[in-house]
Amino acid sequence: MDQHKIKNIVIVGGGTAGWMTAAALAKTLKGQYNIKLVESDQIATIGVGEATIPMINLFNRLLGLDEDEFMRQTQGTFKLGIEFVNWGQIGDRYYHGFGVIGQEAWSIDFYQYWLKQYLAGKAPPLDHYALNNVASMHNKFMRARSDIPNSPVNTIVHAYQFDASLYAKFLRNYSEQRDVQRIEGKISDVQLRDADGHISAVVLDDGRKIEGDLFIDCSGFRGLLIDGALHTPYEDWSHWLPCDTAIAVPCASAPELTPYTRATAHSAGWQWRIPLQHRIGNGHVFSSKFMSADEATAILMNNLDGEALAEPRTVRFRTGKRTKAWNKNCVSIGLSCGFIEPLESTSIHLIQTAIAHLITHFPSAGFEAADIREFNRLMDDEYIWARDFVILHYKATERTDSRFWNYCRQMEVPARLQHKIDLFLTNGRVFREGMELFTKNNWIQVMHGQRMRPKSYHPLVDLTSEEEIKGFLDEVETVVANCANAMPTHAEFIAATCAAK
Ligand code: FAD
């Protein structure tokens, strides 16, 4: 073990990853460590990354944020899930909502009862039994109400959509109020210790030198420390996740403020639509092997709901992950560590997870090899879980209209994912592995929504009479519809609670 005492923490980069890390460490380390964050005004942040998943609520709770204030400051909107358009086949539409479907069961899932009826043509789509989904269809929103027992309104689960640059600014204020020192400047050199190859300092182009014990690389795709200085290899996943470019453009808001992100598949990728209070964020993610940037831009610009508010911007990326998220005295967090791709909004979550694991394995009097190994094992799992769920969206398609979809439909997927698909196709069974991020309900909605159909349903469903199943399903459907009906619209809810001034 290296007995070097940890006292000075240097965060490199002031995008979402840098400021989330600074805020969380400032709150957790209670002023006992010196935290510096270096960022360069000459190097822009990625500027996208505006949709989240519900786990961000844990992060906000750690920071002690007031939700309304956070929404006001970031022009935020609420997100109940994602609407997927054109994925299984052109013309298809389904919601992947965050909440419960039907009722939580301890033995046989609600889905199995519904599946029996659905396969017999006796039940409407699955969306009808999930309050998050029905509320999305009607642009309704409210927060979960734990004071109404046995009601689906207990089970509403939400995340956020926000302006990425305002989010970084919001967290910067939070961090600076808690003694994080921001240093503006461009890093031109990284110095390593001869003895063990650990990073000793970063040097700015005006000659200033910033020394530290623990370095956190949040420098984005550049990977200034983890790659540039420590040459940590990158595992490429582009054979499973072939999109490598995004064209992004904001546009003016449309009349209905939708409480969800939309992901519309095109012929070589897909387009995101993220509604905020003051604008809509849009982007076309595609594979440059299958489509030119000009064509992708034209498709994006022809599919906006309002007037474009800026020139379209191109972002290139390579899906994959560092083989070691933590190497020597450097922890990579955010895009410097890896990128799956924006579908299912997992990146900000992976930043949050890395921060949580870093806090759990925080070094004391030095760097323990076992702690670093465990951190890296956990981060590998986190990325692989998210990766496999995203790959599913490309694999589970019947589209044959383009070379891109033919490739995706026919590609071999990781064995663990194939096993999940095989299980589902047999009797509609889905299992959540360990601490895996996505739940059964997440997997079922995407598999079913993209036309995967099990051969049969769970055999024990037949122990319940059809009349009883029908009564049960009808009751859930009616209660869900009534709850959604009684909810305010998303726009009304925001106007009443957290509209930006
Ligand atoms: P960046 O934002 O790139 O920040 C890098 C920082 O490093 C900057 O402050 C820069 O100034 C600094 N820096 C770099 N080099 C130097 C240097 N030499 N000296 C000093 N400073 C330096 N995630 C989601 O969760 N949801 C989404 O909907 C989503 N959509 C996305 C869409 C696209 C097309 C892409 C590419 C990503 C998306 N992501 C999304 C991911 C998300 O954008 C990132 O995870 C998040 O913004 C974190 O980025 P970052 O902080 O790692 O890097």
pLDDT at 481 over 90: yes
Mean local confidence (pLDDT), 50-74: 97
Annotated catalytic residues are 79
Mean local confidence (pLDDT), 292-307: 98
Answer whether 172's CB lies under 8 Å from 19's CB.
yes
pLDDT tier, 270 (very low <50, low <70, confident <90, very high otherwise):
very high
pLDDT at 1 over 70: no
Q: Return binding residues for 7-chloro-L-tryptophan.
A: 79
Q: Which domains, and CATH codes, for the chain?
A: 8-76+162-237+319-384 (3.50.50.60), 87-157+386-490 (no CATH), 245-316 (no CATH)
**Binding-site residues, ligand 1, Cβ < 6 A:** 13-18, 38-40, 43, 45-46, 48-52, 164, 186-187, 218-220, 222, 224, 246, 283, 315, 317, 334-336, 342, 345, 347-348, 351
The model carries a pTM of 0.97
Q: Return binding residues.
A: 14-17, 79, 335, 344, 348
Q: Return binding residues for FAD.
A: 14-17, 335, 348
Answer whether 366's CB lies under 8 Å from 49's CB.
no
Distance 222 CA to ligand 1 centre (A): 10
Identify the pLDDT of residue 366.
83
The Cα angle at residue 398 between residues 394 and 401, in degrees rounded to 5: 90
Q: What is the ipTM of this complex?
A: 0.99
Rounded Cα distance between 432 and 300, Å, is: 36
pLDDT at 4 over 70: no
Rounded Cα distance between 6 and 264, Å, is: 47
pLDDT at 471 over 90: yes
- Model pLDDT for residues 151-185, shown as the tens digit of each residue: 899 999 999 999 999 999 999 999 999 999 999 99
At 352, which amino acid appears? Q
Which atom of ligand 1 is nearest to 261's Cα?
28
Percent of the chain with pLDDT over 70: 99
Identify the pLDDT of residue 228.
98
Distance 114 CA to ligand 1 centre (A): 42
- Model pLDDT for residues 302-317, shown as the tens digit of each residue: 999 999 999 999 999 9
Phi then psi for 122, rounded to 5 degrees? -115, 15
Residue with CA nearest ligand 1 atom 15 = 219
- Model pLDDT for residues 24-61, shown as the tens digit of each residue: 999 999 889 999 999 999 999 998 989 999 999 999 99
Mean local confidence (pLDDT), 180-203: 97
Rounded Cα distance between 363 and 357, Å, is: 11
Identify the pLDDT of residue 2.
53
Q: What mean pLDDT value characterizes the chain?
A: 96
The 199-204 sheet, strands edge to edge: 187-192, 199-204, 209-211
Inter-axis angle of helices 56-63 and 347-360, nearest 10:
50
Mean local confidence (pLDDT), 91-115: 91
- Model pLDDT for residues 235-244, shown as the tens digit of each residue: 999 999 999 9
Which atom of ligand 1 is nearest to 334's Cα?
52
Site of tokens 């034209």: 298
Identify the pLDDT of residue 149.
81
pLDDT tier, 372 (very low <50, low <70, confident <90, very high otherwise):
very high
Identify the pLDDT of residue 348.
97
- Model pLDDT for residues 379-429, shown as the tens digit of each residue: 999 999 999 999 999 999 999 999 999 999 999 999 999 999 999 999 999
pLDDT at 105 over 80: no
| Helix intervals (H) in 64-184 | 67-74, 110-119, 131-137, 164-177
- Residues paired with residue 271 on neighbouring β-strands, in sequence order: 264, 284
Answer whether 22's CB lies under 8 Å from 180's CB.
yes
Answer whether 135's CB lies under 8 Å from 487's CB.
yes
pLDDT tier, 365 (very low <50, low <70, confident <90, very high otherwise):
confident
